[in-house]
Structure 1
């Protein structure tokens, strides 16, 4: 689930809190033959333990940090895993009938990876407590807590996505640093990491402040500068060492980046080394 679509959904759909309940199951216990509530959507929020929770035959391995959204009247199966009891909350909300066709996410099941987050569990517990009291003030408070819970879930999920993207971009940087001498390109790298090219370029620029092609070029030129400080390595060989098969093209790129030809840069560096 793309977090952007999820945020758009909850930002524009007329979601309305309806109820919340909790359930505890013992290790090894299995619950089958039930369906989700009719005319309601739900967020299954693990509170303790772990279980395999299936919706319409699709299993989700659930524990605190992994929330699952489910649509109305979906067949469910639950199997507790591990040696601890499984405890979870189901937060129900409804959507006006006329909006169902506009927001297909309401009818779907999908995971929301928030990572373990004590604020989410705290908001669920507050919501459970508020819902247990009678009166209009309790109803109003429950509505407010529900929206706060949604905000916390979406923020945590967004941060999880950003953390994952940052980790992936660090891996692509490492790949460039190890393979810059080869004939790599933005397309090669995006295929290597299984990311659509434009998506990769966007994430890379967000992470580094420059597009991938510029980064590869600048990294190669930095490595070329290091090699040019040694008078014994011909310029053509330096070009090959940093991934350029065409020495003349390398010279043009080098001059564009530094304002000097490779030979002129080498001469200056050798003079600097000679006279301190």
Structure 2
């Protein structure tokens, strides 16, 4: 397992796609999700474990001929060539929530400040099932939980406050001035899109937006990322003694860029810790 591996918690929304693969981009497509079940989603997550090939998103900070990819996109300049795909490792991919009445959301979601009202507000503790780290196994005992899961008491109050300021603004992007920009519709009563949360343990350089979009394609629909939080890297866990300060971000695209840019800091801390 790579020493620079990372653990993220992400919120996904199936049924909509955007230019940036997150909720701040312009609407590209809308497709039904009625055919998707929890079992099909769990099977799809298994497919994406291990070594996979990813094509980085156009709205990313990668360089091509001395220019950032997102600059090509924002300026409407065609790319000199196709974005090359690359191999990444998905060490773990777990479903933390699913919008049905029989699934109890993983307690780490509340601990890290994720909003669950659009996902599983009707799930009850008694008789509910909890999805454990194996991905496919469902625990049906009332009080039996994944022992490796971070619970609400494991995260300090200051980290929960920090999570609130870190949480990006949804559905709007003040940096987009394109008159053709179409915002992603917010969730409404009767909304046919499907929300769920996943925990991703992956190698450095993995794009969670791309992973979610690829999972959606595998399921026969489209999807995008609506929230993202890195909770662990190189043995340091958010809420633990070595937590780094999170800065407020107003754009999910910049959130992921900031996460990628912070890799060097984490690696340096890991090196110092090993010494």
TM-score of the pair, normalised by structure 2? 0.22
Point out the structure with max Rg over C-alpha: 1
Between 1 and 2, higher relative CO (CA 8 Å, sep ≥ 6) is seen in 2
Structure with greater proportional helix content: 1
